Structure formats: structure tokens, C-alpha cells
Amino acid sequence: MENKTQFKIVLHAPEIPGNTGSIGRTCVALNLELILIKPYGFDIDEKAVRRAGLDYWKHVKIKEYDSFDHFLEGEKPALNKLFFFENATGTPHYDGSYTEDCYLIFGSETKGLPKSFYETYKDQMFELPMYSEHIRSLNLSNVATTVAYECIRHINYKN
């Protein structure tokens, strides 16, 4: 069974190599492109990235950009194709109007997305619900995988 969707997962300034490797593994499983936006908190060839991606890492379709502006210039996405994920934005991830050509954008593990994004993209910010006061955040690779599968569900439901 082949996933014919073309949506992409975007990591903005990822810091933890294991998370990037795990997300790359999800991208291989779903036949998705992984876009990485610098700066990284690690070397992309670091052993920990490959270890998390296991022997699948060589199959990850990766594109890199030096900045978010370079990403916008290179990809030229329509504004309504950008979906940002961050804690406490108020809009649950399952309310996104995902399409086959959208971009799922996640911030760094410790800093999240740049503060300027909250104003510029306020209508495109989503979160995964957390119901316990004991949790500040979820693991980035878990969130990216959850959102990717929700995106597929939305696209398949529409079709």
C-alpha cells in the first residue's frame, strides 16, 4: 500500500538528533519528505540521528534550508498550506484543514517556534491536547507522528 500524498514534515531548528531520526523514520514509513531548517543542535550526519532512524535513514527524503525565509522562497507554499504545531495554541490538531500538499511545521524541542510566528501565523497554529497539569510538553517525534497520521486520515476522508 502506497501513500500518494505529498504533504511534508518540516522541523524548524531541531535540537535533539534522536527526535529527528525518529521523525525521519516516520517519513520513510509514510513516504513523506522531511524538510530541515537550520540551525540544528547537532550534525545531520551524527551517529545518534542514524541510530534513531535505524537502517531506514538512508531512505529519508531530506531537503535542507538555511532559514525559514529560504524555506518560503524555495517551496513557495500558499499561506493556507502551512500548519504550525505548538503547545497551548488553543486549536486542536484534528481541526486542521489538511490537504495533500500541505506542510506540517514543528519547532525546536526546547524553544518551540519563533515568537514572531505566533502573530504572523496565528490562524494556522495547532496543538495536541494535554489534560494533565503535570505535563509541559510532549516528545517532538511523538507529536510529528501523531499529526502526520491525522493528516492522512483527513486527506483520505475527503477523498
Per-residue model confidence as pLDDT tens digits over 37-80: 999 988 877 676 767 666 788 899 999 999 999 999 999 999 99
Per-residue model confidence as pLDDT tens digits over 107-121: 999 999 999 999 999
Kindly tell me if the per-residue pLDDT of 14 is higher than 60.
yes
Helices assigned H by DSSP within the chain: 17-30, 47-53, 68-75, 115-120, 140-158
Q: Residue 159 has what pLDDT?
A: 55
Q: How far apart are the first and last CA of the chain?
A: 16
d(C-alpha 90, C-alpha 126), whole Å: 7
Q: List 141's β-bridge partners, or say none.
A: none
Enumerate domains of the chain plus CATH numbers.
Answer: 8-158 (3.40.1280.10)
Selected residue with higher pLDDT from 27 and 5: 27
Among 82, 65, 81, CA closest to 73: 65
Kindly tell me if the per-residue pLDDT of 134 is higher than 90.
yes
For residue 27, the surrounding DSSP H or E stretch is helix 17-30
Residues of the chain with pLDDT > 90: what percent? 76
d(C-alpha 46, C-alpha 76), whole Å: 30
Average pLDDT of the chain, as a whole number:
90
Of the pLDDT bands very low, low, confident and very high (cuts 50, 70, 90), residue 16 is very high
